[in-house]
Amino acid sequence: MGTIAVHEFISLDGVYEDPSWTFEYGFDPQMGETLGAITGAATAILLGRRTYEMFAPAWSVRTAEDDPGAPFFNDTHKYVVASREPSADWGPSTTLPYSKDAILGLKESTDGAIYVSGSGTLVRALLRDGLVDDLHLFVYPVARGTGARLFDDGAVPTRLTLKAHDVYDNGVVHLDYGRG
């Protein structure tokens, strides 16, 4: 049975929206190693439609020479949670509606981890339904003040257990949480 491993870049106040604000902190090579380990265990990608449509034009033109993560993103089968077909076409992909049973079916039919990035609406639903096995938060040393938050007002209480953590030279902290 597969597991769901979520990866998010967030601010201290939980903002994940449009993470271009992370660029000013640089990308510590150890962060790349951590992300490589997360994606290296994955055999599938699960994304919300909007994130899929944002990732498609950015990743589909990248090669391994441009970014070592390009083969993973371009060649791995992507499952897109959407109520309508995405406007982009990007490598092997399947569209499915969100339901707890559909995601459980995906987990049961997958060997290895199912990688999720961004996709805030989807991640909130996965957390609410107790479907996230690993929540990898890369917390940046800044409070944004505004923007979509991973845990927004009205979210159901979510108990997590810290499994591991890393501190990088650029001030970013990686927190690996599992089910509480």
Domain ranges of the chain: 3-133+144-169
Please give the Cα distance from 104 to 101 (Å, whole number): 5
**Tens digits of residue pLDDT in 22-75:** 999 999 999 999 999 999 999 999 999 999 999 999 999 999 999 989 999 999
Q: What is the mean pLDDT of the chain?
A: 94
The pLDDT of 96-102, averaged and rounded, is 95
| pLDDT bracket for residue 21 (50, 70, 90) | very high
Task: Report which residue type is found at 50.
Answer: R
Domain 3-133+144-169 annotated CATH 3.40.50.300: no
Structure tokens at 7: 């990866």
Q: Are strands 173-179 and 134-140 parallel, antiparallel or unpaired?
A: antiparallel
